[in-house]
Amino acid sequence: MPNFHYSGRDNSGALVSGNIDAGTADDVAAQLFGDRVTPIEINEIGSSKKSNKPTKSSSNSGAGTTSDITTMESIGAFFGGSKVEVDDLIMFSRQMFSLTKAGLPLDRAIKGLEASLDNPSFRKILRDVISSLENGMTLATALGRHPKVFTRLYLSLIHVGENTGQLDMAFKEVGKYLELEKNTKKQVKSATRYPMFVLGAITIALGIITTFVIPVFSETFARLGADLPWQTVVLMETSNFVLKYWPLLIGAIAALVFGFFSYLGTEKGRHNWDRRKLKFPLAGTVFERVALGRFARTFSMVMRAGVPIVQGLNVVAGAVGNAYISRKIYQMREGIERGESLHRTASNTRMFSPLVLQMIAVGEETGTVDDLLSEVADFYDAEVEYDLKRLGDAIEPILITFIAGLVLILALGVFLPIWDLNTAVQ
């Protein structure tokens, strides 16, 4: 196994060096990052071609050539590896916090991180960011060239961190925010996984029964010529309709889905849908509290970072994930531009509970709005967690009742004629 000599800096910024046995320079870089050491140079010992020339991690992949990097990125993109996940952003933010806190130059820090990434698309983005930095751009501007990966909130915090000399704290805050967002989404998915699985299983079972089972019974009953109960007639007519017009049904479903998402693509459609979601039975309160929790947390972050309140509300409006609540936040911004207080504008939206409004009022009086909004966000997070548990407990008996009703209809439709025939024979 090749032996590599490295030099780098630890978390305190001190210069460290040593030797590591590894397969490639990338393996060395990954091991160093795991030990919280940022590599500066990695040289392979004992190779005449590389002994006098530093081997930078950012220019190597598994095979060590640019063509191999391009090939691997193409293969990764083809198999769905081109998407930058939230985990990638969390890890990037955490590592950038450590590196910038240690005083490492931005271009060198990002080069080291780019070498340790497995996501080919994210590596390509970071290489573009490095090129932009070398051309004189600020970090916020360089990251802003990739809006699908770095949100307005992310860019705003980085921009403020650069201007105030607290870039390390900006990365720390945005990393914490992304982690909390990830946990919230995980809780929502966990609460909805069971009902979605049950509904999917029911849909598949009904499709099989309608397509294969009921037609067999229909032929048998038709040959016997017996009078059939209405439950069986409904099942048979439904099965015949599906078998006869299934291409039209699939086309109609596809058209409805396409029309629905096209409607959501419009500003009016997104606003109306997000407003209706807040009124859904059982789940409406969850959607509302998730959005309000995001508002409180992001607003707390931008205020703590020193973003002006009007600009901060613009950033927050794009981060809540609900167009209806975003419009309410824009109304708050307009009220503040007219000279109204934050408490008054928040009260006029009618989105917040009296407790939250009271905390905002106290925060304005004491100058601690950011701290109290952070507490408001924690309050909403706790409420969301409770609501999700309650949602699961409420959905389960509804699904059981729904399944029992379907089984009863199928049983009556199939077995009643058999019982009638058995009675007639006796």
pLDDT, one tens digit for every residue, the chain (426 residues): 678 888 776 655 567 888 887 777 766 766 776 666 766 677 777 543 333 333 333 333 333 333 344 444 444 444 444 588 888 898 898 888 888 888 888 888 888 888 888 888 888 999 999 888 888 888 888 888 888 888 877 887 888 788 777 888 888 888 888 888 888 788 778 777 878 888 888 888 888 888 887 888 777 777 766 677 777 788 888 888 888 888 999 999 999 999 999 998 898 999 999 999 888 887 888 888 888 888 888 888 888 877 788 888 888 887 788 889 889 888 888 888 888 888 889 888 888 888 788 888 888 888 888 888 888 888 888 888 888 878 777 788 888 888 888 888 777 777 777 776 665 455
For residue 423, tell me if it sits in a domain.
Answer: yes
Contacts of 34 (CB under 8 A, 6+ apart): none
Select from 150, 169, 188 the last residue of a domain: 150
201 with 113, same domain: the answer is no
- Of the candidates 219, 201, 211, the one whose C-alpha atom is nearest the C-alpha of residue 242 is 211
Instruction: Indicate if 51 and 141 belong to the same structural domain.
Output: yes
Residue 44, beta-bridge partner list: 4
The answer to whether residues 141 and 190 belong to one domain is: no
The total of structural domains in the chain comes to 2
Q: Answer whether 376's CB lies under 8 Å from 296's CB.
A: yes
Are both 145 and 193 inside the same structural domain?
Answer: no
**Which residue matches tokens 């017996």?**
226
Q: Are 201 and 134 in contact (CB under 8 A)?
A: no
Q: How far apart are CA 38 and CA 23, in angstroms?
A: 19
Asked if residue 208 belongs to a domain, the reply is: yes
Q: Which pTM value belongs to this model?
A: 0.64
Are both 24 and 129 inside the same structural domain? yes
Residue that finishes a domain, picked among 134, 150, 166: 150
Q: Which domain does 356 fall in, by range? A: 180-426
Residue 166 belongs to a domain = no
Alpha-carbon gap, residue 211 to 243, rounded angstroms: 7
Judge if 130 and 187 occupy the same domain. no
Same domain, yes or no: 275 and 403: yes
Q: 137 in a domain, yes or no? A: yes
Tell me: do 135 and 227 sit in the same domain: no
CA atoms of 257 and 86, how far apart (whole Å): 27
Q: How many CA atoms lie within 13 A of 331 on its CB side?
A: 15
> Does residue 2 belong to any structural domain of this protein?
yes
Q: Do 142 and 209 fall within a single domain?
A: no
Distance CA 242, CA 81 (A): 39
* Same domain as 223, residue 348: yes
In a domain, 161, yes or no: no
Chain centroid to Cα 70, Å, comes to 28
Query: Does 195 lie in the same domain as 135?
Result: no
Asked if residue 159 belongs to a domain, the reply is: no
CATH number for the domain spanning 378: value is 1.20.81.30
Question: Is residue 323 a part of any domain in this protein?
Answer: yes
Residues 97 and 13 in one domain: yes
